Amino acid sequence: MADASRSSTLIGTLDRHVAVASSFVEPRNVGVWLPPEYDPSPGRRYATIYAHDGQNLFEPPNAFGGVDWGLDATLSCLIRQGQVRQTIVVGIWNTAERWREYMPQKPLEGPTRSADRDRFAEQNGGQPLSDGYLRFIVEELKPWIDANYPTLPGRESTYLIGSSMGGLISLYALCEYPHRFGAAACLSTHWPAGEGLMIDYLRHALPAPGVHRIYFDYGTETLDAGYEVWQRQADQIMRTAGYRTGVDWITSKFVGAEHSERAWRDRLHLPLRFLLQPSMTPEPM
């Protein structure tokens, strides 16, 4: 890992790790956000959110379209009000291979998916790289974070969040590594990717309810306008699997909301509350 430099322009502290190397994917920047109340002394431990498209979270100059999520402001406020747990955010920047890294890989595997694989490769310059991307997070990044920050490293305190394709890869990570992640927030999940193959994958890969929680949402304008038909199918899979709405699963529809950083910023407090419920029993240190 590169040495961290600190920013004093945000609420809380942002440790910047530049060009983090990996054996599985190309290097990328990683920002680790620490809340204003952060205390690294022995006995203090924090939940952790791994967030995709990390450049969009905190700083407008780095964010797509110049609008960030304002995650530092929203999460700081929720922590101060006692609505969520004390939490560290690991913002993983995307790269030029975003589509290939965020497209779930296993739904495109198998002899019956050859045409889908060929079409994806033709449109995106190669086959999906998401299994390698998840290995980077699980085998390289998370162990380093747990060794260098005072985290609660177990599944019960480790979460995922992302929007659009970032929502898709968050769900895929939860399904592939249910022993590592306890919950995922998927904002404006881009179900149409891969011709909706993630829906079929969910039928057999969805982790057990009760010990896992999943948040979905979608708007009704721009790109989000095409999501409801897919989301309804996913919701039926959740019900069949035994997920209880409002308990270990939420799907929210936002009428008039578009597919944008600004829209996700406006409703970010909702998935954060669901992921970081203070009533969740923390794991022992």
pLDDT, residue 55, reads: 97
Would you tell me which CATH number, out of the four given (3.30.390.30, 3.40.50.1820, 1.20.1260.10, 3.40.50.620), belongs to the domain 5-275?
A: 3.40.50.1820
User: Bridge partners of 6?
Assistant: 15
Q: Are 14 and 4 in contact (CB under 8 A)?
A: no
Kind of pairing between the strands at 158-163 and 249-254:
unpaired
C-alpha closest to that of 211 among 259, 163, 178: 178
Residue 229 has pLDDT above 70, yes or no: yes
Query: How far apart, in Å, do the first and last CA atoms of the chain sit?
Result: 25
Residue 3 has pLDDT above 80, yes or no: no
Residue 180 has pLDDT above 90, yes or no: yes
Residue 260 burial by CB count (10 A; 0-12/13-18/19+): exposed, middle or buried?
Answer: buried
Residue 1 has pLDDT above 80, yes or no: no
As a whole number, mean pLDDT of residues 189-216 equals: 94
Would you place residue 6 in the very low, low, confident or very high pLDDT band (cuts 50, 70, 90)?
very low
Beta-carbon neighbour count of residue 168 at 10 Å?
A: 26
- Alpha helices, H only, 125-212: 130-135, 142-148, 165-176, 197-205
User: Bridge partners of 87?
Assistant: 47
95: tokens are 């790269």
pTM surpassing 0.75? yes
pLDDT, residue 2, reads: 38
Q: What is the pLDDT of residues 82-117, one digit of tens each?
A: 999 999 999 999 999 999 999 999 999 877 888 888
How many whole angstroms separate alpha carbon 71 and alpha carbon 205?
30
How many whole angstroms separate alpha carbon 237 and alpha carbon 239?
5
Residue with tokens 């891969």: 194
Residue 121 has pLDDT above 80, yes or no: yes
Strand order in the sheet with 158-163: 5-7, 13-20, 28-34, 87-92, 47-52, 158-163, 183-187, 213-219, 249-254
Residue 7 has pLDDT above 60, yes or no: no
pLDDT, residue 4, reads: 42
Residue 8 has pLDDT above 50, yes or no: no
pLDDT, residue 143, reads: 98
How many whole angstroms separate alpha carbon 93 and alpha carbon 177?
21
As a whole number, mean pLDDT of residues 175-179 equals: 98
Average pLDDT in the chain:
93
Q: Are 57 and 73 in contact (CB under 8 A)?
A: no
Q: What is the pLDDT of residues 22-71, one digit of tens each?
A: 999 999 999 999 999 999 988 899 999 999 999 999 999 999 999 999 99
pLDDT, residue 27, reads: 98
